[in-house]
Amino acid sequence: MSPVLTILLILVGFALLIFGADWLVSGASALARKYRISELAIGLTIVAFGTSAPELVVNAVASFDGHADIVLGNIIGSNNFNLFIILGIAALIYPIRVQSTSAWREVPLSFAITLLFLLLANDFFLREATLVSRIDGLILLALFGGFLWYVSTQMKKEPVKENLPATKSNVRIWLLILSGLTGLVIGGKLVVDYGVELATYMGISEKIIGLTIIAAGTSLPELVTAIVAALKKKSDIVIGNMIGSNIFNLLLILSVSSLIRPVAYNPAFNTDLLILSAGTLFLFISMLTGKRKHLDRWEAAILLVFYFSYTVFLIL
């Protein structure tokens, strides 16, 4: 395929991502208002699952074909991209106000899950290559079930405070959500597939492709969704989408990948997981300093600068 056609298909993918994200955010917000469900819960579930769909598709194919570095690089790289780039850009647009539950529960939960995976993958830090086995996958899948149970209890305990009338019918709401998810999945796949095709010409390794190009590509739905939500000042959808997507990636997508085929773990990914853990810890600390329960613009700038430095480190 000619480079010109490849670039055109990538641009089509970007267009689908932009429209899909707008439809998804609009539909999810209307759903939250209609059924008095907090937007945080919607962000942690429907939006997070929808924007993580590209990672699920890519990882299922990569795992079936035995590309372990792409499986792990996509998940770990996507989580780092979500935390440093997506949250950083969203907070630069509009400082993110975090609910008390996120400050004290969801963010530490994401941190704990990352450390747990680090332990499982390394057999408690043994210095040898190991597998993310099917048993590990079942453990992660069971934890994912527990996470869904937790979110469902939060829906009951913390209904939406606003008493706003629903402005859209059920049919229109679900049409927006389904159209948004479809656009995100197709757009993400177009960008990833043809982005990798362009990158292959440059002779980049699967590990680097997974951590950078594929991770960024499959995270584009989260990026566009977060930007749209930030412009609409929907902080709960921004933080819920980011945390929910990271938890979905580690607990659901990685478990599905390892159940399809055990994933050989390269200890070189330990550095990337430690960076992810440190970034999550920074997010937690930032909510306790400055303007409490806010991710301010200067803190967002730190996230962005660190990620660009990390990317240069990967390339070098």
Residue 166 has pLDDT above 70, yes or no: no
Residue 272 has pLDDT above 60, yes or no: yes
Residue 27 has pLDDT above 80, yes or no: yes
| 3-state SS class at 290 | coil
Give dist(CA 258, CA 68) in Å, integer. Answer: 10
Residue 251 has pLDDT above 90, yes or no: yes
Bridge partners (DSSP) listed for residue 132 = 263
Map tokens 């660190």 to a residue: 306
Dihedral sign for Cα atoms in the order 292, 112, 214, 184: negative
Q: Which residue has the higher pLDDT, 166 or 56?
A: 56
Whether residue 55 contacts residue 249, with contact meaning beta carbons closer than 8 Å, is answered with yes
Residue 254: predicted pLDDT: 92
Residue 37 has pLDDT above 50, yes or no: yes
- Token digits of residue 272: 């990337």
Give dist(CA 162, CA 307) in Å, integer. Answer: 36
Helix axes 48-64, 220-231, angle to 10 degrees: 170
Residue 114: predicted pLDDT: 93
Structural domains of the chain ordered from first start:
3-315 (1.20.1420.30)
Q: What is the mean pLDDT of residues 196-211?
A: 75
Residue 163: predicted pLDDT: 46
Residue 94: predicted pLDDT: 85
At 264, phi and psi to the nearest 5? -65, 125
At 67, phi and psi to the nearest 5? -95, 80
Residue 273 has pLDDT above 90, yes or no: yes
Bridge partners (DSSP) listed for residue 130 = 265
Transcribe 242-286 into DSSP letters: HHHHHHIIIIIIHHHHHHHSPEEEPTTHHHHHHHHHHHHHHHHHH
Residue whose C-alpha is closest to residue 190's, from 2, 5, 11, 4 = 11
Residue 127 has pLDDT above 50, yes or no: no
Tallying the residues shown for the chain, one arrives at: 316
Answering whether pTM is above 0.85, one says no
Amino acid (1-letter code) at residue 131: L
CA atoms within 13 A on the CB side of 160: 22
Between the alpha carbon of residue 303 and those of residues 81, 118, 199, the distances in Å are: 10, 22, 26
Gyration radius (Cα) of the chain, Å: 19
